[in-house]
Structure 1
Amino acid sequence: MARLSSDLPCLGVGLGFRRELREPIFEHIEAIDVLEIVADHFFNYVPEGQTPAVELAEKFPLLPHGLELNIGAHGDFDPRNVEEAVSLTEAVSAPWYSDHLCFTQAQGLEIGQLTPLPHTRATVERCVAKARAFQDQLGVPFLLENITRAFPLPGEMDEVSFVRAVIEGADCGLLLDLTNLFINAHNFEYDAYAYLDELPLERVVQIHLAGSVRRGERWMDSHSHSIEEHPEVWELLDYVAQRTRIGAVIIERDQNYPDDFGELLADIRTAQSILGKPGSLSRPGLEAPGAHRH
């Protein structure tokens, strides 16, 4: 099993690769430290297979991010998905692989969304067992990502206790989506900083940031705007960066692509400036102190 260690690289700040953004990404290679790819889009059973990902890996460090591992569902993994994830990770020399703490299929049928899980001990045990089994085959550290939800979930624990129990039980890493945290905290009226204080921040390897849209009193996880739509997310990044070593920050954009690519570059620069602030623990070799809000 590949476990977390302080030897994981600090790759900087980059973008989630989307084919619609390919041309401006290559026009601004010098401004982008790293790319994240949707792993399932580069599996061998899709038309172009791994080839485009391998070509990207010649220019950028690549981080594969899966959609259909289905970590929270009952039953075994789809063996083809596991095989493809391992193969892609090796092909692009990725330092880690990530997917979502959710389920995406039921009784063999794809749901078409990242569906949240009930916060129960039975769910924790199921996710822990499957995450450990996957990481055993992967050969590099495995990260799980916190997701948004549309309504309160039943269960025996709150969200942060559930996430912590899975991550620690599986001995895996955390892909901390700070926009998802901001959205859930706003929509369900809890303190995002108290949530962060309860997380094992030493297990944060990667961070996601995305701009979303507000509808009425609620924020929606749309990945459709600049992060400046809710600049509070930058404060959350600063809070985490002061407390732990961050391997990579990825800006996600999945729709409403800007005519001016400078909008995404501005988000990258803002994240880079936060990681580069005096006192930031985003550099190699520094330990994370306890997290306490001031």
Structure 2
Amino acid sequence: MTTASAVFELPCLGVGLGFRRELRQAIFEHIDEIDVLEVIADHFFEYVPEAQGAARELAEHFPLLPHGLELNIGAHDPRDPRNCQEAAALTRALAAPWYSDHLCFTQSQGLEIGQLTPLPFTGATVERCVAKARAFQAELGVPLLLENITRAFALPGEMEEVEFVRAVVEGADCGLLLDLTNLFINAHNFAYDPYDFLARLPLERVVQIHLAGSIRRGDRWVDSHSHAIAEHPEVWELLDYVAQRSRIGAVIIERDQNYPEDFAELLADIRTARSILGRPAKPARH
């Protein structure tokens, strides 16, 4: 059974990257400059030999944080017992201190949507998400973190997004993976103040942060995970605000396309995040 106190007492692991195969060689060439890696949990489910070997190799050098894609917490569909079992098994195998997934839905009545889809901000949706999150967290045996997503459109609802997120994480007694790039994008695209959003969040529940570079199309920002965060000073300012008000367990830099030829670009983002958190560089291995 996990409780709020378990969320608040999680370890501080530092700053790292979302593991992608395209970055593997560079990651291993810069082990001493990366504190922690996040792995896409669904890629390691079913324990195929290749996945087992990759996970073991990574775990020899880094703490690993499993990040899921298919919890489907907001759907009317019942919980997928296989997904829950595999997530719990992977979490145990990695000795991970927490498990994260998205506050959204990804399929309905067995139909795969193919993307992280926003939920209607209603009391009924809150109740559904809370019930699923509590059951999933109990099965995991470690705290569950739920992540705020970007949205291309607004659904009819009964409350603001920040009220919805707060109601779910407090009702489920779980943690929050706060994606500050997603917050920046939504705040711009839907014309609200990101600092007002943060002031109304239970920041004491923030365990992990996501940061990524985005692109602008016309008058809207798009969550592309394709550029350096150095190009977005507003996101660094949001991290500074949260770091002064939360005990952050990990900051993960995400990159999913347009991988830099010079890995120094990603290392620079890691160093900037580290400096904002006020944490020293990772000790070199001898």
Q: What is the TM-score when the length of structure 1 is the normalising length?
A: 0.92
Partner of 2:2: 2
Letter of the aligned partner of 1:163 in structure 2?
V
Tell me, yes or no, if structure 1 residue 255 matches structure 2 residue 257: yes
Structure 1 residue 45 displacement after superposition: 5.6
Counterpart for residue 63 of structure 1: 65
Please tell me the root mean square deviation across aligned C-alpha atoms, in Å.
1.3
**Percent of pairs with identical residues:** 81
- Inter-CA distance 172–5: structure 2 relative to 1 (3 Å threshold): closer
Matches within 5 A, 1:1-294: 1-3=1-3, 4-44=6-46, 48-276=50-278
| Count of residue pairs brought into register by the alignment | 278
Paired residues of 2:213 and 2:226 also in contact (CA < 8 A): yes
The aligned residue for residue 283 of structure 2 is: none
Say if 1:187 and 1:46 are closer, same or farther in 2 by CA, change over 3 A. farther
Contact persistence 2:203–2:242 (CA under 8 A): yes
- Partner letter of residue 73 of structure 1? A
Asked if the contact 1:208/1:250 (under 8 Å) is kept, the reply is: yes
Q: Secondary structure at the match of 1:87?
A: helix
Gaps of 5+ in 2: 280-286
Structure 1 unpaired stretches of 5+: 278-294
SS at match of 1:249: strand
* Partner Cα distance (1:45, 1:70) in 2: 21
CA change 1:54–1:45 in 2 (3 A) is: closer
Match of 1:281 in 2: none
CA displacement at 1:13 relative to structure 2: 0.2
Equivalent residues of 2:44, 2:51 under 8 A apart? yes
Q: CA deviation at 1:46?
A: 5.1
Q: Distance in 1 between matches of 2:102 and 2:7?
A: 21
How far apart, CA to CA, are the structure 1 residues paired with 2:127 and 2:239? 30
Counterpart amino acid of residue 106 in structure 2: T
Distance 1:114 1:229 in 2: 25
More helix, by proportion = 2
Work out whether residues 128 and 167 of structure 1, in 8 Å CA contact, stay in contact via their aligned partners in 2. yes
Q: Which moved more, 1:39-48 or 1:9-18?
A: 39-48
Aligned partners of 2:7 and 2:112: how far apart in 1?
34
Give the TM-score normalised by the residue count of structure 2: 0.95
- Aligned partner of 1:272: which letter? R
Q: Is the 8 A contact 1:69 1:81 kept in 2?
A: yes
- Aligned-residue offset at 1:79: 1.2
